[in-house]
Structure 1
Amino acid sequence: MLIHPQFDPAAIRIGSFAIHWYGLMYLMAFAQFLLLGRLRIKTPRYQALGWTYKDLEDLLFAGVLGVVLGGRLGYTLFYMPGFYLSHPMSIFKIWEGGMSFHGGLLGVLVTLYWFAKKRKTTFFVVSDLVAPLVPFGLAFGRLGNFINGELWGRPTDLPWAMIFPMVDSIPRHPSQIYQLFDEGIFLGLALWVYAGRPRRVGQVSGFFLLGYGVCRFLAEYAREPDAFLGLLGLGLSMGQWLCIPMMVFGAYLMTTFKSKSV
């Protein structure tokens, strides 16, 4: 039976100063955004629109704000609204944990809309640029979850089951690793190949929404639901319910939606 190594959450300690693994994962995610983004803005569509590396940096800065603010607000609204209504100041205590991917996604969508208006282009031109850069960033985030020993899986007797001593002595799915590979590496490679060919505006964004929705929906069957929520209607978790509109809208963008302009 595998046992979680219980890593020190701090990658580097110098006296009272510490750099945490999760912070490093965020930095790695931002770095890959800029590196792969350079390749994206060299494609014919974005060259024709005059996109530059400065645009990419501005987009990253806006996106980071969207991820942090949206992720935190999404967690408070989707997962623990009652608690945060009673303790509103706790909303600002990000260091105590509590971030929602779906909330972060909504935050990013707002910043993409703002950026599109500033750049005088359409929303989906911007989102199509960003979409292939997201999954590899998510992979770093899931690696951070594994190092921290959080978001563990449901009990299982599979040969690769892992005990998370910080939780209990029950063998569980290493669901962080599942998500690292399915919604991170696998989705990232598939989306990169898909986006490498000429696509109608909005289709790359749709592929991301549909692909992430499917990958996350399936991974949730191995992930332990939040103790304060448990499983909801039809035996689905909150994460699965939030993925359903993503999948529906993603399929619509890929098959039906037609952008009026670029």
Structure 2
Amino acid sequence: MLIHPEINPIALQIGPLAVHWYGLTYLAAFALFMFLGTRRLRHPPYARMGGAQAWATKDVEDILFLGVMGVVLGGRIGYCLFYKPGYYASHPLEVFYVWQGGMSFHGGLLGVIGSMFWFAHSRKKPFWQVADFVAPCVPTGLAAGRVGNFINGELWGRLSSPDLPWGMVFRDGGPLPRHPSQVYQFLLEGLLLFILLWLYARKERAQGQVAAAFMFGYGVFRFIAEFFREPDAFLGLLSLGMSMGQWLCVPMILGGAGLWWWFGQRKTSV
């Protein structure tokens, strides 16, 4: 059994300015996206595109900016709609109280999809070409976010067996050991998904298949991780003993698999 180290959430204090570890993980996620995005420019088919369809570093920067906006807006709105619709319907102004916490990955994903539609339309690029470009760069950002969750000692897992060597006691999780589900999600949705997607995307695929593979892969890995993650206290487990996170992953898994097959039948190059 392990004890959570209770790391100070403030990484650096400069006078009145407090730099939080969680903020640094987001900066790391942005930097990783820029690095991987510029590497993607060298991969086929993007490297050979010219004229109006050409890709450049400026495109990566613009996608990142729009994606951040989509994550923040979609993540917050998604949390309010998916997890506490009744509460926020009665307290609509609190939707804007982002400092109180409350973000949803699935809402953030919808926000990112919206930002990619905007980018694709403004640059006259096919949407699925943009989605295929972005998809392999996303898991490292998810991994960075899980590091922040672990440092903050939040979103811990369900109770584990006392004999589990890596079972961990969290300060706000009671005296019994729990699964360090942030670490599980870091390994599954972050590291493993990144490796699989990056290798898969290095070879030219039918347009849309890389993005569909991300949808399917994330949905499967998140669905598995949710078995070890403590459900939201105000929701608990829903029908069939599944959490809200698992139910939101079901359309990702089915939709990702269906789209991957459909794009393969079309055999349209990225």
TM-score range, shorter chain: over 0.9
Q: CA RMSD in A?
A: 1.2
- Show structure 1 runs of 4+ deviating over 2 A: 257-262
1:214 aligned partner: 220
Structure 1: gaps (5+ residues): none
2:257 aligned partner: 251
8 Å CA contact retained: 2:116, 2:127: yes
Pairs within 5 Å for 1:88-127 = 88-127=92-131
SS in 2 for 1:227: coil
Structure 2 counterpart of 1:169, from 172, 175, 178: 175
SS in 2 for 1:166: helix
SS in 2 for 1:256: helix
2:197 aligned partner: 191
Pairs within 5 Å for 1:77-92 = 77-92=81-96
Separation of aligned partners in 2, 1:52 and 1:236 = 43
CA distance 1:56–1:7, change in 2 (3 Å) = same
8 Å CA contact retained: 2:67, 2:116: yes
1:35 aligned partner: 35
- Greater displacement, 165-174 / 146-155: 165-174
Structure 1 counterpart of 2:144, from 140, 147, 150: 140
Pairs within 5 Å for 1:227-246 = 227-246=233-252
Deviations 1:23-50 (A, max 9, x none): 1111000000000101111223213131
- Aligned AA (1:195): A
Deviations 1:133-185 (A, max 9, x none): 00011000000000011100000112210000123111100000000000000
- Greater displacement, 11-20 / 206-215: 11-20
- After TM superposition, the score normalised by the length of structure 1 is 0.97
8 Å CA contact retained: 2:206, 2:268: no
Separation of aligned partners in 2, 1:88 and 1:55 = 36
Separation of aligned partners in 2, 1:195 and 1:50 = 18
Following TM superposition, by how much is the alpha carbon of 1:85 offset from its aligned partner in structure 2, in angstroms?
1.3
Following TM superposition, by how much is the alpha carbon of 1:261 offset from its aligned partner in structure 2, in angstroms?
7.9
SS in 2 for 1:127: helix
Separation of aligned partners in 1, 2:84 and 2:136 = 31
Separation of aligned partners in 1, 2:267 and 2:82 = 31
- Counting matched residue pairs gives 262
Separation of aligned partners in 1, 2:269 and 2:135 = 19
- Aligned AA (1:187): L
1:71 aligned partner: 75
8 Å CA contact retained: 1:79, 1:229: yes
Residue identity over aligned pairs, in percent, reads 60
Structure 2: gaps (5+ residues): none
SS in 1 for 2:207: coil
Note if 1:9 corresponds to 2:9: yes
8 Å CA contact retained: 1:202, 1:259: no
Separation of aligned partners in 2, 1:219 and 1:169 = 22
8 Å CA contact retained: 1:122, 1:261: no
- Aligned AA (2:216): L
Separation of aligned partners in 2, 1:187 and 1:41 = 20
Structure 1 counterpart of 2:155, from 151, 154, 157: 151
